[in-house]
């Protein structure tokens, strides 16, 4: 048996060597990073033993500050300190206006669809702000684990739309991270809980974070988590509870609505503190500085607080009811309700959720950490560290995907709560004689009119052969991958004219913007872009080598004849040789060549696995 | 072998029949997913990942189709060479259509009735019973797939579509009411 020797210092050669992987909870208020060590998932603290990283980035002329110090300076330097970037990510400038008064930033008018905030360091997009947070967390993990991360799992609210997911992935790309998977936050929480309990049945995950709310109903069946439905509000969170309290204070203290940034920011902090105090105390004293001098002293008790927040809580309960209905389950079927997110510490919320589900909600795992812990477990699985692992997550599309048709109506192509990955095709036709082009407008949402849905992308299919109205057959195919990201393709069937887009442009960065940003960041770090590319090509090449070596070791005897095996080994050896050189293009090319050579083998392996699994059921049913 | 040309039933190792053992279908679906899902191939080669995505997409489609009686019936009809124009086909059974109109009126009136919930409950129960009856009929028709039986099954599918739509409208009204209090 030929052996492949690859001399690449610091790189793994053994196929089953433990790979470093991390789970990142990129939150609105706080973020965390976690990893699995000695079969135990744990969140990682900073040097001062703090696990949470406030999701706050302060920009200076020559650098950034992320976390606690930035958070503490937020009121003193509100324009250069960006908090809650998650509320802005993947959104257009027009969306942000409606998001509210609580955002004390200077938005810049740009040509780009991505909103930018003016800071001392120049104009930054929410994607870049998120990338700074991701970099700090990834560095923390690498310092703790003593090596480079092979990949990460980043969590997103289940209710995030395509643009928000895409933007989150862009942020990871800017931070130089390989994303194994974007994982829905409630599903991550279920993983963290489910592993401990192993209880088959229906579970509800109630996740109220700083800026988003999600409810997911899922079924656990022998290690397979099937998400049955998901719902929520990507613009409702703890911040909104702070907001109603802040508004109440303003009214009581006679502070005007148009007070300046610093005053508003301070008020939000006071409001949050009051909310947190009321989680354990019956009332809280308030001492509010009035702009222009003086103080307002007052008191907020739980009763008043409850009256202020009840309308918001009611919205979350309505979403729970809808999610249960979508799942086709009754409230009696729900075995337990898991609480996730710092905002679920509010006693009033726990009381109301308990009332609706007719049982006290579970709060055993720290609601701030549970998502990161689940993400870490999943990252460990996806890195290939647990080949015999039984856990599998089957997630769904949170919102319906469709196309705008005549009269601005939406034709749904993939309804919400469809298990992903999924592909669906729909046929359309022309409405005018001789029509040669067609605009494909892709939207996401539940409303009937396209203008009320989220516009994801718009592209044109040209070159349709002229025919009478209704004669052309145009097939539009929607494909959603395991990250929940959408690809759309349109094809005229009689002539085979094609057009396709990876849905991305509307509110994401285009490739050029990303390249520019990457370049700019490398200039800062004085790192060589070429070097980075070579490193990436090597990692990717090694991944191919390792994956195939592991495969050969496990089943080549059974599935390959001597000649086939020799052929694969030769190609692999050539790849190993070229990885040792410094030619990134050659490495990429050879890696591609290896994949081509091995195509039949990969297919054979998968089929043989399936055959075995199905044979386990009932041999008589098979040919 | 995993063969994309296999029909949905064969994919799960089930007999081609309208009567499907839901538990077995779910179990096989999960078994297949355990093997082919992209999460199982996250550290594989690019080609392995593409293959996994393709196969998982196919398995999801097959599962969705077989789970639901209407799509299952439509699929079975297509295996018998009858391609329904999905929702564009409609029944011409006058008695049935008249009944539909009545049910729809009842649904409208339920909104304004004093005891909306009770009225709605009764209505939904009746619709569900009608659906169950049609499903039972289809099961028999597909057992003996002679042309007249297949034509009858096709007609049943058309009616099912009406009833399902009505049921989901009733459900949304119920949801609306629940949200109000």
Tally of helices (H runs) and strands (E runs) in chain B = 7, 0
Per-residue pLDDT tens over the stretch A269-306: 899 999 999 988 999 999 988 887 788 899 999 999 99
Does residue A249 register a pLDDT over 80?
yes
From chain A, the residues in CB contact with B52 under 8 A are 606
Q: For chain A, what is the mean pLDDT?
A: 84
The verdict on a CB contact (< 8 Å) between B175 and A384 is: no
Tell whether the model's pLDDT for residue A496 goes beyond 80: no
pLDDT value at residue A87: 84
Q: For an interface test with A, which of B6, B15, B21, B44 has the most A Cβ atoms less than 10 Å from its Cβ?
A: B44
Q: Contact at 8 Å (CB) between A483 and A165?
A: yes
* Nearest by Cα to B175 from A325, A332, A218: A325
Q: How far apart are CA A52 and CA A300, in angstroms?
A: 28
For residues B35-60, average pLDDT:
89
Give per-residue pLDDT as tens, A312-330: 999 999 899 989 988 989 9
List Cβ<8 Å contacts ≥24 apart for B137-146: B138/B18, B138/B69, B138/B73, B139/B18, B139/B19, B141/B18, B142/B17, B142/B18, B142/B19, B142/B73, B142/B76, B143/B17, B143/B18, B143/B19, B145/B80
Long-range contacts of B160-163 (CB under 8 A, 24+ apart): B160/B69, B160/B70, B160/B73, B160/B131, B160/B134, B160/B135, B161/B70, B161/B87, B162/B91, B162/B96, B162/B100, B163/B127, B163/B130, B163/B131, B163/B134
- Say yes or no for a CB contact (<8 Å) between A610 and B35: yes
pLDDT at res. A10: 40
Give the gap in angstroms from C-alpha A522 to the nearest C-alpha of chain B: 28
Report pLDDT digits (tens) over B72-119: 999 999 999 988 876 677 888 899 999 999 999 999 888 887 788 888
Residues 557-596, chain A: which have Cβ within 8 Å of B? 594-596
Nearest partner of A579 among A529, A547, A542, A552, judged by Cα? A542
* pLDDT for the residue numbered A242: 93
State the pLDDT confidence band at A9, using cuts at 50, 70 and 90: very low
Could you tell me the pTM of the whole model?
Answer: 0.80
Nearest to A446 by CA among A377, A411, A516, A399: A399
Let me know if A562 is exposed, middle or buried by CB neighbors in 10 A (0-12, 13-18, 19+): exposed
Q: Which residues of A496-513 are buried (b: 16+ CB within 10 A; e: fewer)?
A: ebebbbebbbbbbbeeeb
- A94 vs A448, residue with greater confidence: A448
From A22-31, A183-192, A502-511, A569-578, the region with the lowest mean pLDDT: A502-511
For A335, half-sphere exposure in the C-beta direction (CA atoms, 13 angstrom radius) is 13
Across A66-80, A94-108, A186-200, least confident range:
A94-108
Residue of A262 and A5 predicted with greater confidence: A262
d(CA B164, CA A437): 36
**Mind listing the pLDDT tens digit for each residue in A551-586?**
888 888 888 899 999 999 999 899 989 988 888 889
pLDDT of residue A421: 94
How many CB pairs below 8 Å do chains A and B form together?
Answer: 123
B127-164, pLDDT tens digit by residue? 999 999 999 999 999 999 999 999 999 999 999 999 99
Give the per-residue pLDDT at A17.
67
- Nearest CB among B26, B51, B175 relative to A322 is that of B175
A105: left (phi over 0), alpha (psi -120 to 50) or beta: beta
Assign A290 to helix, strand or coil: coil
* Nearest Cβ partner for B43 among A419, A482, A543: A543
Complex prediction ipTM? 0.86
**Which residue in B2, B14, B34 is closest to A606 by CB distance?**
B2
Distance in angstroms (rounded) separating the CA atoms of residues A481 and A423: 9
């Amino acid at each position: 048996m030929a052996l492949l020797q690859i001399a690449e210092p610091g790189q793994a050669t053994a196929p089953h060597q433990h790979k470093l992987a991390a789970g990142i909870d990129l939150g609105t208020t706080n973020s965390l990073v976690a990893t699995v060590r000695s079969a135990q998932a744990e969140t990682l603290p900073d040097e001062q033993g703090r696990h949470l990283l406030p999701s706050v980035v302060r920009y200076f002329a020559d650098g950034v500050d992320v976390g606690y110090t930035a958070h503490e300076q937020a009121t003193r330097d509100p324009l250069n300190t960006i908090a809650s970037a998650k509320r802005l990510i993947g959104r257009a400038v027009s969306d942000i206006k409606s998001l509210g008064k609580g955002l004390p930033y200077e938005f810049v008018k740009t040509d780009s669809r991505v909103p930018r905030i003016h800071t001392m360091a120049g104009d930054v997009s929410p994607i870049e702000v998120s990338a700074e947070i991701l970099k700090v967390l990834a560095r923390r993990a690498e310092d703790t684990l003593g090596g480079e991360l092979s990949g990460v799992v980043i969590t997103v609210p289940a209710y995030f739309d395509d643009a928000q997911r895409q933007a989150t992935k862009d942020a990871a790309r800017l931070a130089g991270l390989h994303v194994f998977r974007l994982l829905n936050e409630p599903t991550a929480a279920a993983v963290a809980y489910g592993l401990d309990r192993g209880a088959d049945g229906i579970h509800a995950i109630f996740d109220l974070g700083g800026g988003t709310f999600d409810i997911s109903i899922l079924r656990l069946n022998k290690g397979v988590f099937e998400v049955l439905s998901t719902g929520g509000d990507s613009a409702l969170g703890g911040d909104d509870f702070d907001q109603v309290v802040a508004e109440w204070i303003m009214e009581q203290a006679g502070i005007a609505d148009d007070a300046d940034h610093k005053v508003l920011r301070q008020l939000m902090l006071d409001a949050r503190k009051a909310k947190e105090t009321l989680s354990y105390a019956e009332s809280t004293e308030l001492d509010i500085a009035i702009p222009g001098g003086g103080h307002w002293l007052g008191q907020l008790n739980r009763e008043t607080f409850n009256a202020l927040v009840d309308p918001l809580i009611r919205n979350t309960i309505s979403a729970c009811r809808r999610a249960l209905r979508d799942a086709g389950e009754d409230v009696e079927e729900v075995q337990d309700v898991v609480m996730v997110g710092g905002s679920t510490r509010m006693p009033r919320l726990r009381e109301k959720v308990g009332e609706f589900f007719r049982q006290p909600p579970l709060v055993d795992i720290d609601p701030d950490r549970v998502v990161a812990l689940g993400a870490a477990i999943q990252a460990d699985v996806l890195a290939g560290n647990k080949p015999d692992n039984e856990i599998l997550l089957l997630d769904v599309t949170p919102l319906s995907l469709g196309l705008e048709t005549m009269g601005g109506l939406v034709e749904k192509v993939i309804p919400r709560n469809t298990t992903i990955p999924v592909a669906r095709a729909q046929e359309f036709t022309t409405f005018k004689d001789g029509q040669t082009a067609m605009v494909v407008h892709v939207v996401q949402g539940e409303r009937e009119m396209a203008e009320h849905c989220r516009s994801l992308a718009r592209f044109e299919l040209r070159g349709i052969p002229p025919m009478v109205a209704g004669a052309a057959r145009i097939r539009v195919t929607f494909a959603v991958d395991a990250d929940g990201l959408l690809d759309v393709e349109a094809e005229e069937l009689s002539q085979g004219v094609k057009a396709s887009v990876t849905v991305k442009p509307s509110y994401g960065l285009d490739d050029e913007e990303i390249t520019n940003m990457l370049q700019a960041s490398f200039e800062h770090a004085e790192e060589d872009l070429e070097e980075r590319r070579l490193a990436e090509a090597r990692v990717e090449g090694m991944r191919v080598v390792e994956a195939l070596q592991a495969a050969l070791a496990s089943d080549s005897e059974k599935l390959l004849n001597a000649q086939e095996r020799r052929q694969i080994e030769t190609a692999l050896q050539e790849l190993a040789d070229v990885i040792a050189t410094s030619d990134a293009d050659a490495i990429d090319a050879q890696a591609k060549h290896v994949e081509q050579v091995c195509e039949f083998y990969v297919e054979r392996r998968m089929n043989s696995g399936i055959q075995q699994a199905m044979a386990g059921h009932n041999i008589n049913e098979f040919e | 072998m995993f063969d994309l040309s296999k029909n949905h039933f064969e994919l799960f190792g089930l007999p081609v029949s309208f009567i499907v053992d839901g538990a077995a279908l779910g179990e096989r679906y999960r078994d297949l997913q355990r093997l082919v899902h992209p999460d199982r191939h996250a550290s594989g080669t690019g080609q392995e990942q593409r293959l996994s995505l393709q196969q998982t997409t196919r398995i999801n489609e097959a599962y969705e189709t077989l789970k639901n009686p209407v799509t299952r019936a439509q699929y079975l009809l297509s295996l018998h060479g009858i391609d329904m124009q999905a929702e564009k086909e409609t029944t011409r059974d006058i008695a049935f259509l008249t009944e539909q109109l009545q049910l729809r009126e009842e649904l409208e009136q339920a909104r304004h009735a004093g005891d909306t919930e009770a009225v709605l409950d009764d209505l939904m129960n009746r619709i569900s019973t009608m659906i169950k009856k049609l499903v039972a009929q289809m099961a028999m028709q597909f057992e003996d797939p002679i042309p007249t039986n297949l034509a009858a099954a096709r007609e049943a599918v058309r009616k099912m579509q009406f009833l399902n739509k009505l049921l989901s409208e009733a459900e949304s009204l119920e949801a609306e009411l629940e949200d109000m209090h």
